[in-house]
Amino acid sequence: MTTTTESPVNNGVNVEALLGAKEALTGAPEAAQFQWRAACEWQNGTHSTSTVEGFFGLGEEQKHRTTYSFDVDHPELFASEDNGATPVELVLVGLAGCLTAGVAAVAQHREIQLRKVSATIEGAMDVRGILGVDTDVRNGFSNITVTYNIDADATPDEIKALVAQSQKRSAVYDIITNPTDVRVEIA
């Protein structure tokens, strides 16, 4: 007879802290009011640089460990300089990051050890919208497909349920699939 020692599941997500936060915010809705921010500076042409540093949450100003900076531009195909990813690609990256973080968190909670998680995200777009060729064509994506490849100590059904739960709690999935009020003002 052999004795096997099971090592605890570790996906690097501190589920206890998240459950603690959930409990703490249940009685303090005002602390749950966050504000996320970006600051954008136009460079030249379609090229801009945005930075992300501070945000507001848990009743006070918060800061990232460091300032994150992003160059955004249009590709050479649209007569631009391609100094960065396009704005719509950044949205796809946000969606991928959101769903993937969710998969890891839900897996930890369900005690499923992940080994490898990767995804491809594809957004279809008819550019006659943004170019103003046909006003019946929307500017954004016609549709988005996210395809996951997940290697984990779990059955295919458990993996399917992981991804479904991540979708259910995803901020960016909600932002893309439901309308949000956006106000654009001049200072």
91 CB contacts (<8 Å, ≥6 apart)?
123, 172, 176
- Minimum CB distance to a copy of itself, residue 1 (Å): 35
In the complex with a copy of itself, which residue's Cβ is closer, 8 or 156? 156
- Round to whole Å and give the CA distance between 125 and 91: 13
Site membership for a copy of itself, residue 167 (CB under 8 A): yes
In the complex with a copy of itself, which residue's Cβ is closer, 127 or 153? 127
Determine which residue in the list 6, 8, 65, 136 makes contact with a copy of itself, applying CB under 8 A. Answer: 65
Site membership for a copy of itself, residue 141 (CB under 8 A): yes
In the complex with a copy of itself, which residue's Cβ is closer, 3 or 132? 132
Residue 146 has φ and ψ, to the nearest 5°, of -110, 125
- Round to whole Å and give the CA distance between 1 and 24: 47
- Round to whole Å and give the CA distance between 172 and 179: 12
How many residues sit close enough to a copy of itself to count as binding (CB under 8 A)? 126
- Is residue 142 classed as helix, strand or coil in its secondary structure? coil
Nearest to 123 by CA among 138, 143, 137: 143
- Minimum CB distance to a copy of itself, residue 6 (Å): 20
- Minimum CB distance to a copy of itself, residue 2 (Å): 30
Binding positions for a copy of itself, 85-114, rule CB under 8 A: 85-101, 103-105, 114
